[in-house]
Structure 1
Amino acid sequence: MRQQNKTFQAIEVGDGGDGRWAAHARALWQDMEGLLTAEGRTPEGADRVRALFRAHMPELVPVLDRLASQLDRPEAEAFLTHAALRPFSPACTQIGRNGTLLRNYDFPLDQCEGTIVSSCFLRPVIGMQDVLWGLLDGMNDAGLAVSLTFGGRSVYGRGFAILIVVRYLLETCDTVDQAVGRLRSLPVAVPQNLTLVDPTKAVTVFVGPDMSPTVAPDACAANHQHLPVTDEQERASRTQERLRAIRAAGADVAAMLKPPLYRSVDEQGSGTLYTARYRPVEGRVTYYWPGESWQQSFGDFTPGSRTVTLGRPS
């Protein structure tokens, strides 16, 4: 079994205007800028993605302007729209049940930002940030929590990376129903599954560039959607096995830290990087690793860092 260390950090960035977010983003920029597509580097492409962002996420336009101006990079605004980024395919498992959102995030170790962020761009939000201000999962002060998994299909279209969609939903929505309604008008570049939880409801929604948002049979998701899974896909991702396992286990942290839901780090450095349990009605999230946990909340957010050992399931 391969074991590696990963350092996660927790930061507060406020409304993004006082330099804390910018200092963090500048330190990451060299590693991040390669995610921008060739189209996003052209004046025409930059105009297109800015127009797309203004049309579909108007509430966040002032935040985009504020953040981009601090990076002082010509391509910063196009990059931060998340509408001209190379696609990524996280192999995750998640479930919403009884006011709890529980998820495993599986991805290459060296491609995860690993930053827990408390922000107040439009409202208080806490989540696991990636690609400078997108979110892999998170919750807001209204009691809504959202997380993502890859939808398992090789389709790509014009639209947003799912990271900024999660951010947008948490910044602008109070309930699951409101968020599902917003999804119906948001173009998404890659097939993804979103699990959403509020105090009274939990659903999973399949989204993609070639389909209308579709509510799944239950509030669980791995890495497939409505189409049959091929034998090759199952061997590579074990998506059906993981979905069966999480349905059987429910929102059980202990099960998430064991195979088949917990995936040891492989030779390519990919595996389960963290487990997150959101209790949004309490404004509280706990991140778990085998033998270690880290709790954050709106009432008691603690900046700092943790170095954890990956690759040793409980």
Structure 2
Amino acid sequence: MRQQRKTFQAIEVGDGGDGRWAAHARALWQGLEGLLTAEGRTSEGAERVRALFRAHMPELVPVLERLAGHLDRPGVEAFLTHAALRPFSPACTQIGRNGTLLRNYDFPPDQCEGTIVSSRFLRPVIGMQDMLWGLLDGMNDAGLAVSLTWGGRSVYGRGFAILIVVRYLLETCDTVDEAVDRLRSLPIAVPQNLTLVDPAKAVTVFVGPDMSPTMAPDACAANHQHLPVTDEQERAMRTQERLRAVRAAGADVAAMLKPPLYRSVDEQGSRTLYTACYRPVEGRVTYYWPGESWQQSFEDFIPGSRTVALGRAG
């Protein structure tokens, strides 16, 4: 099998008002606008999702309006609410332990933006951006870090894509407890697992459109929640195997770069795209690939790009 390569980039966008974010977003927009649902393409539907955003994420409304104004494309404001996007189902494995958040992100390479973003929308935040301003994982200047995995259940409801929820928690919360409390009022469109870490605590929370936020047994997650995993799901996702492996390994980067946690291409084209190790109390994150790493921090964020080889597990 030919080794696949992917380019990741690191950018600073400030508060979104000086054109840097818009310049980046314009280059992506044509490939993303098709992800807007039919509801989001109607004037009535767009107003419904804007109202949902105003009701549940009021602190971010000025940011959304600023970003939408600078991008200036039809449908962009509804898109940026992340309440009218077609659902997606990343795999992933993650663990929070001793002030560290460690995760593998698994997805088809051509469907991942691959942008490490340093922003100051409401406060300093660094994370792996997707869907223009959502986050797959990230940390803030208060020492809080959050990452996501898919919950493994095919349920869909009215609510937000988890990417904007991660952004919202990091923009508005200082601690795990504050973020968990905030989750109780947020409608979530698809079952997801969030692992949250601060200097004093690490937890995983199961969320979804058909359930209240539920604490997991420990601060680990793969791609299932509270319900039994079917044999078919385990064969496809190896979610229970990965959860056992990450529990046994703890916050060990080397283990994340080996099977079963590091995954080569599956039938859907998904594979491990990066490993992220957040140390939020230090304001530092390191991204890892087989044989390569890239560190960023609040004190020393360096824009640039890296083209990396995506290794084969096994």
Moved over 3 A (4+): 266-269
Q: Deviations over 1:70-94 (max 9, x none)?
A: 1111201000000000000000000
Q: Deviations over 1:168-226 (max 9, x none)?
A: 00000000000000000000000000000000000000000000000100000000000
User: 8 Å contact 1:110–1:269 — kept in the other structure?
Assistant: no
User: 8 Å contact 1:104–1:273 — kept in the other structure?
Assistant: yes
Aligned-pair identity (%):
91
Deviates more, 1:263-272 or 1:52-61: 263-272
User: Equivalent residue of 1:178, what SS?
Assistant: helix
> What is the Cα deviation at residue 266 of structure 1?
4.0
> What is the Cα deviation at residue 270 of structure 1?
1.8
1:259 paired residue number? 259
Q: How many residues align?
A: 314
> What is the Cα deviation at residue 269 of structure 1?
3.3
Q: Deviations over 1:243-287 (max 9, x none)?
A: 000000000000000000000134653200000000000000000
User: Equivalent residue of 2:101, what SS?
Assistant: strand
Going from structure 1 to structure 2, the CA distance change for 1:213 and 1:2 (only over 3 Å counts) comes to farther
CA distance in 2 between counterparts of 1:114 and 1:2 reads 21
User: 8 Å contact 1:3–1:265 — kept in the other structure?
Assistant: no
CA distance in 1 between counterparts of 2:39 and 2:116 reads 30
> What is the Cα deviation at residue 312 of structure 1?
2.8
> What is the Cα deviation at residue 112 of structure 1?
0.1
TM-score after normalising by structure 2: 0.99
> What residue ranges of structure 1 are gaps of 5+ in the alignment?
none
Deviates more, 1:265-274 or 1:41-50: 265-274
> What is the Cα deviation at residue 2 of structure 1?
4.6
User: Equivalent residue of 2:205, what SS?
Assistant: strand
User: 8 Å contact 2:196–2:204 — kept in the other structure?
Assistant: yes
> What is the Cα deviation at residue 3 of structure 1?
1.8
TM-score after normalising by structure 1: 0.99
User: 8 Å contact 2:263–2:312 — kept in the other structure?
Assistant: no
CA distance in 2 between counterparts of 1:268 and 1:216 reads 28
CA distance in 1 between counterparts of 2:65 and 2:259 reads 44
CA distance in 1 between counterparts of 2:161 and 2:313 reads 30
> What residue ranges of structure 2 are gaps of 5+ in the alignment?
none
CA distance in 1 between counterparts of 2:221 and 2:247 reads 9
Going from structure 1 to structure 2, the CA distance change for 1:200 and 1:16 (only over 3 Å counts) comes to same
User: Equivalent residue of 2:214, what SS?
Assistant: strand
User: 8 Å contact 1:152–1:191 — kept in the other structure?
Assistant: yes
User: 8 Å contact 1:2–1:267 — kept in the other structure?
Assistant: no
User: 8 Å contact 1:234–1:240 — kept in the other structure?
Assistant: yes
CA distance in 2 between counterparts of 1:159 and 1:128 reads 22
User: 8 Å contact 1:193–1:204 — kept in the other structure?
Assistant: yes
Deviates more, 1:17-26 or 1:303-312: 303-312
2:87 paired residue number? 87
CA distance in 2 between counterparts of 1:313 and 1:101 reads 22
